[in-house]
Structure 1
Amino acid sequence: MYVTISELAAYLELPEDYIHHQIKRGQLKTVFDGENYLVNRENFLWHKEQLDLKRKQLELEAEEPIPEDWDAKDED
C-alpha cells in the first residue's frame, strides 16, 4: 500500500519537511505517480520503529536525575 508524504507525516507525527529531507538523503524510497510522491508503507515501518525507540530513550534520559558536581578541591 502506498501513502502520500502528507499521510506519512501525519502517521509518524513529523513535519513534512522532515520526510522530504529523509527522501533526499535516500532514507526513504518513493514512487512518483505524475502528481505526488508516494511511499510504500512497508518501507517506513522500520523507520517508525527506530523513531519510537529513540523517543523512549530520550524520555528515559530526561527522567534521570542530574548528578551533583563533585569538587576536586575538596578531595585533599
Structure 2
Amino acid sequence: MYVNVKELAEFLELAEEYLIRQIQVGHIKAVHDGKQYLVNKDQFIWHKEQLDIKRKQLALETEEPIPEDWDAKDED
C-alpha cells in the first residue's frame, strides 16, 4: 500500500522533513507523482518494529535511577 510522506511520518513518528531528505538522498525509495512523494508502507513495518524496541529501551534507561554513592574519585 502506498502512502504519502505525511502518513508515513505519522506511522513512524518521525518528522516529514527528515523523511523527505532521506528520499532526496536516495535512502528511501519513493515515487513522485508530480505533487507528492508516495512510499510503499510495507517496506517500513520491520523498521517501525525496531524503532519501537529502541524507544522502549531508551525509556527504561532513563527511568533507571543513578546510584547515590557512585564513589567518584577526583583525579585532578
Fold in common (TM above 0.5): yes
**RMSD in angstroms over aligned alpha carbons?**
1.9
Partner Cα separation in structure 1 for residue 32 and residue 6 of structure 2: 14
Give the superposition deviation at 1:12: 2.0
Q: 1:7 aligns to what SS in structure 2?
A: helix
Give the superposition deviation at 1:72: 4.1
Partner Cα separation in structure 1 for residue 15 and residue 5 of structure 2: 10
* Equivalent position of 1:69 in the other structure: 70
Give the superposition deviation at 1:29: 1.3
**Residue pair 1:31, 1:37 contacting (<8 A) in 2 also:** yes
Aligned residue-pair number: 73
* TM-score, with structure 1 as normaliser: 0.77
- Mapping of residues 21-32 of structure 1, within 5 Å: 21-32=21-32
Unaligned runs of 5+ in 1: none
Partner Cα separation in structure 2 for residue 52 and residue 4 of structure 1: 21
In structure 2, relative to structure 1, the CA distance for the partners of 1:64 and 1:25 (3 Å cut) is farther
Give the superposition deviation at 1:25: 4.8
Unaligned runs of 5+ in 2: none
In structure 2, relative to structure 1, the CA distance for the partners of 1:72 and 1:10 (3 Å cut) is closer
Higher helix share: 1
Larger displacement relative to structure 2 (36-45 or 25-34): 25-34
* Equivalent position of 1:51 in the other structure: 51
